[in-house]
Amino acid sequence: MKMGAYIVRRLLLLIPVLLGVSIFIFTLTRVGGDPAAAYISERMNEQQIAAIYERFHLNDPIYVQYWYWLSGILQGDWGYSRVARAPVTTAIQTYFTATFELTLISIFIAVVVGIGLGTVSAVRKDKPVDHATRIMALSGVSLPIFWLALMLQYVFYFQLRWLPVGQRYSTELYLAQGGPMLHHYTGFYFLDCLLNGNFPLFGDALLHLVLPSITLSFGTIAIITRIMRSSMLEVMGLDYIKTARSKGLSERVVIRKHARKNALIPTTTVVGLSFGGLLGGAVLTETIFAWPGLGRWSTAAILQNDWASILGFVLVVAIIYVLVNLVVDLLYAYLDPRVRLG
């Protein structure tokens, strides 16, 4: 099957899934409470309230309401976010880059560290390095992420005073260095500062990234290390590795060029799958580090029963997640010629 046709087919298959997701969360919000509550204030009289019900079609049967809601979504009207005091679509655009910056950097750290540790651990199986790595990997999947965040804050911010905590920059420095004047090329603060040639702010933005990204990547490092170790061990036992060794290739070349390349295939899938975990983890991490992203916005929305925001958040996360999974499948087929798309 051709790649193009496969992508189209997969994208088409996403439509019923996303429709299902939308029905599910729409039902949830209607179970959750009166959706008009977001628009009604104490000072309104009965006629105004009735007008609101009329305007948002809340007197209609639920499937008609769903239809209005869905056509609104498709036309870019995602409702009004009370928490962000802006339309949901605007809020998502604003918060998305912050979350994207954090997740991307975390996944980068996780991939680099995880693949490195996994390889070392497999090559030196049952040596002290291996044991240390495995214990770290085990604790990585067992640590409560919010607790890890608090511990890191305690040590590096409260006790050692090495690293800052909260937001994406230090407010005073941001104002002193003309932060509001910066031109945002990418939405990634540290990159933008660099592109603007503003080095003090660049350093500050980087420092603010350290603790949240370590927190967020810790669990993923563990998962990647584990899968990399086991697939590396599996590959190292195969015949072609013996062949490579008996050809007289150095161990370095055998491991780097022959073994690791094939061991990376299962790892790719896991990286993709752990992306969902990262999006979930971002909710906790952002809340603790006051990182102005989707996660913090959504917790605030949930605690204040801001339904339009919750719906928007879940929908956007679901879309990102299924698209990432599609990319992972494609990448998998690209990396492993034995895999047939179909």
Partner 1 sequence: MNGEEKPVRGWGKRFFEPIKKSMAPRIRELRFSFFLMRKSLLAIVGLAIVLVILILAVFAPVLAPVPEGQRDPLYMPRDFQSPKPPGAEGFILGTGHLGVDIYYGIIWGSRTSIYIAVFVVLVASILGIVLGAIAGYYGGAVDELLMRITDIFLSIPGLVLAMAVAAVLSRSLENIMLALIVVWWPPYARIVRGQVLSIKENTYVEAARAVGSKKSRVLFRHVVPNSLAPMLVSATMDLGVVVLVAAGLSYIGFGPPTGTAEWGKMVSDGQQYFLSTVIYDGVEYNPWWMVTFPGLMIFMFVMGFNLLGDGLRDILDPRLRR
Summarize as ranges the residues that interact with partner 1 (CB under 8 A).
16-18, 20-21, 24-25, 28-29, 31-33, 138-139, 141-147, 150-151, 153-154, 157-158, 276-277, 279-281, 283-284, 287, 298-299, 302-303, 305, 310, 313-314, 317-318, 321-322
**Cβ-based nearer residue to partner 1, 28 or 50:** 28
**Cβ-based nearer residue to partner 1, 187 or 280:** 280
**Cβ-based nearer residue to partner 1, 134 or 245:** 134
Shortest distance in whole angstroms from residue 38 CB to partner 1: 14
What amino acid occupies position 64? V
Q: Tell me the β-bridge partners of 86.
A: 81
Q: Tell me the β-bridge partners of 87.
A: 80
Helix axes 88-123, 294-303, angle to 10 degrees: 120
Shortest distance in whole angstroms from residue 14 CB to partner 1: 8
Shortest distance in whole angstroms from residue 311 CB to partner 1: 9
Q: How far apart are CA 47 and CA 41, in angstroms?
A: 13
Shortest distance in whole angstroms from residue 189 CB to partner 1: 24
**Cβ-based nearer residue to partner 1, 254 or 284:** 284
Shortest distance in whole angstroms from residue 176 CB to partner 1: 25
The token pair at 127 is: 């040596």
Q: How far apart are CA 249 and CA 283, in angstroms?
A: 47
**Cβ-based nearer residue to partner 1, 34 or 54:** 34
Q: E-strand spans in 120-183?
A: none
**Cβ-based nearer residue to partner 1, 223 or 254:** 223
Entry field: residues in the chain: 342
Shortest distance in whole angstroms from residue 28 CB to partner 1: 5
- For the stretch 333-340, contacts whose Cβ atoms lie closer than 8 Å and that sit 24 or more positions apart, written own/partner, are 333/3, 335/264, 335/265, 335/268, 336/265, 340/1
* Contacting residues for 90 by C-beta, under 8 A, at least 6 apart: 84
* Contacting residues for 322 by C-beta, under 8 A, at least 6 apart: 14, 17, 18
